[in-house]
Structure 1
Amino acid sequence: MFDVRRVLLLAEVADHGSLTAAAEAAGMTTSAASQQMSRLESETGQPLLERFPRGVRLTDAGAALAARGRAIRRELRAAEADLDSFARLDRGTLRLGSFPTVSASLLPLALTRFSRKHPGTRATVRSGVLSQLLEFLHTGETELALLWDYRWNRIDDDALVLTHLLDDPTVLVVPANSELLDVPEVSLTGLSRQDWIIRADNHPVAEVLRRSCRLAGFEPHIAYESHDYQEAQAMVAAGLGIAIAPRLALTNRRNDVRLIPFGSDVPAPTRRILLAQARNRTPTPAALAMTAILHAVADKFTGSALDRNQLGSVRHSSSARTGR
């Protein structure tokens, strides 16, 4: 097997008609170029150049090999152009992992910004539960993934690089005419007699409710098990009970429910929203660009508090009570 770099130099000799000009184009001395050609002839086992006082001429074998060298040079230049286009984000695909509440709140804005800034790069998203998202990262099916955790189930994986994006607090969801809107500070201990709407199928927010209520000294009475946050909101609006949810899950809030922050007696857990990538893989330019955008969008969500009506900060008199 012969050295491809010498084949590329032979192509330069063919193009320029002399070793001196080829050496100058390759950034070496004429003597070094001559030595490289001699070594290439030794590797191929036959003469490639006929040397004359005023230049060189390629043998038939040299001309054939030089043609191959030109083809290799073209492919290498095309490869450089490909890599340059990926670096400029003019083409390529970014593979993301996400979960429903972030996909319905933070991620759309990030994807919109990314597509506007880098229209040549296509973004794909795979949604899943936490275990699936971790698997996607480990297998390389996704480059980046949005994850979440609570203080009792911190993600501890040395194979991943985790970046904190924002904290997502738990809030109370009540009907728009709830008497709880008139309470200066809602405490979990004061909600022991309430009926609760809970997420079904061992959903993480169901664990949040049970943990929080037990910490406050009671077991919640479950009136309904919902399968998504819109269904939970509808049951709250109908007076069937109250609910808790991460704030990001309620970006699309019904106009007949309100959100109330918890008091400080037994703080409701706050989940972390994290951005993860595999530690053993160098981030692509597309991944780096999306990482910057996600941080900017997370800052926007952190810095913009929910509106006063949405948080239930506008108190009003009402004799109606939530359904028991």
Structure 2
Amino acid sequence: MQVLRAVVGTGSVTAAAARLGYTPSAVSQQIAALEKEAGTELLERVGRGVRPTAAGVLLTEHADAIARRVAEAETALADLLAGRTGRLSVRYFATAGAALVAPAVARLRALHPGVRVELRLADARDPLPDVREGRADLALVVGRPETAGQDDGVRLLRLLDDPYLAVLPKSHPLAARRSVDLAELAEEPWVGSEWPGPCLDAQLAACEAAGFRPRFVVDSEDYATAQGFVAAGLGVTLIPRLGLGGRHPEVAVRRLRSPEPARTISVALRATAPPQPALTSFIEALREAAETGVSGAG
């Protein structure tokens, strides 16, 4: 139909051939094939040129519309590939929201204002299926890069190590210190602050390295609630720096050492996903936020 459009536009098979870079014979063959498919003549000879029949005019109008839509599609594709438009779907967990995701989204909007960002809290049980199955472009997860491989359809990029801090009642003897050896908490009653999973595993692994297993007397599975139990004198707890948020006035927060527990926060991406400028910019913005996030949260 675009050959017909060129012939009608130039009024000549020869001129259309020159415009398209074809031979006149090739153009004539294309028109003949189109007329056979349409079941009617599309051109009539007028002097040394041609003009469209009523059927030819009709198909030429549709060819013009198709050409406009193709041009629009090409422009839209170029905008998408350049990161000027598009959609980015992000999954995150609550304590990463304020310190990491919020500044990264603000940075992305400055760089790619035409990209729409969809933000949702990740499934606490397993955030990776959304990425693996294409429902999300990226997810923030707690886990080390070696815990996921190409065979899982997901790759992990390490973002930062978020250290755990000791949270003690203000009256606790260790509260007078600037830092606490983890082993010094071995005989203390503990307030649980994590759901079972990689965050709790990071705590337990550090305690095991320090030679003990904590004795949990309360399970809160929430950082703010855990602080409340500690403030009431029911035990001690560990909370990651990004999870501290507003500190309870009756607790003391101290650095840990020997060892210093930490949870690894990583970016999960689909292993087969093609490069996207907006996605690349968002990951870079997350890295920038991570450089200041832990120190700023302290």
When normalised by structure 1's length, the TM-score is 0.77
Q: Does 1:22 align with 2:22?
A: no
Q: Which string of whole-angstrom CA distances, capped at 9 and with x for unpartnered residues, describes residues 98-152 of structure 1?
A: 112212421111122223443333211221345531111122211111112159x
Counterpart mapping for 1:258-297 below 5 A: 258-264=252-258, 267-297=259-289
Q: Which string of whole-angstrom CA distances, capped at 9 and with x for unpartnered residues, describes residues 156-177 of structure 1?
A: 4521132222222222223455
% of aligned pairs identical?
35
Are residues 48 and 298 of structure 1, via their aligned partners in 2, closer, same or farther at CA, if it must alter by over 3 Å? Answer: same
Q: Distance in 2 between matches of 1:25 and 1:274?
A: 55
Q: Distance in 2 between matches of 1:188 and 1:210?
A: 11
Are residues 132 and 125 of structure 1, via their aligned partners in 2, closer, same or farther at CA, if it must alter by over 3 Å? Answer: farther
Q: Structure 1 residue aligned with 2:130, among 125, 131, 136?
A: 136
Unaligned runs of 5+ in 2: none
Aligned residue pair count: 297
Secondary structure at the counterpart of residue 67 of structure 1: helix
When normalised by structure 2's length, the TM-score is 0.83
Aligned partner letter, 1:48: L
Q: Distance in 1 between matches of 2:229 and 2:181?
A: 22
Secondary structure at the counterpart of residue 132 of structure 1: coil
Q: Distance in 1 between matches of 2:144 and 2:68?
A: 54
Q: Distance in 2 between matches of 1:228 and 1:128?
A: 16
Counterpart mapping for 1:128-277 below 5 A: 128-129=122-123, 131-149=125-143, 154-158=147-151, 159-176=153-170, 178-183=172-177, 185-199=179-193, 201-202=195-196, 204-254=198-248, 256-264=250-258, 267-277=259-269
Number of the residue aligned with 1:57: 51
Aligned partner letter, 1:73: A
Aligned partner letter, 1:154: T
Q: Does 1:68 align with 2:98?
A: no
Q: Which string of whole-angstrom CA distances, capped at 9 and with x for unpartnered residues, describes residues 9-49 of structure 1?
A: 21222223233443454455555544433443455455433
Deviation at 1:87, TM superposition (A): 4.0
Counterpart mapping for 1:38-49 below 5 A: 38-44=32-38, 46-49=40-43
Secondary structure at the counterpart of residue 261 of structure 1: strand
Q: Distance in 1 between matches of 2:90 and 2:264?
A: 18
Q: Does 1:79 align with 2:49?
A: no
Secondary structure at the counterpart of residue 173 of structure 1: strand
Q: Distance in 1 between matches of 2:167 and 2:296?
A: 13
CA contact (8 A) 1:150 1:269 kept: no
CA contact (8 A) 1:105 1:251 kept: no
Aligned partner letter, 1:140: G
Are residues 297 and 64 of structure 1, via their aligned partners in 2, closer, same or farther at CA, if it must alter by over 3 Å? Answer: same
Q: Structure 2 residue aligned with 1:13, among 3, 7, 20?
A: 7
Aligned partner letter, 1:295: R
Secondary structure at the counterpart of residue 148 of structure 2: coil
Secondary structure at the counterpart of residue 170 of structure 1: strand
What's the C-alpha RMSD, in Å, of the aligned pairs? 3.1
CA contact (8 A) 2:165 2:241 kept: yes
Secondary structure at the counterpart of residue 73 of structure 1: helix
Secondary structure at the counterpart of residue 180 of structure 2: coil
Aligned partner letter, 2:265: I
Are residues 225 and 13 of structure 1, via their aligned partners in 2, closer, same or farther at CA, if it must alter by over 3 Å? Answer: same
Are residues 164 and 77 of structure 1, via their aligned partners in 2, closer, same or farther at CA, if it must alter by over 3 Å? Answer: same
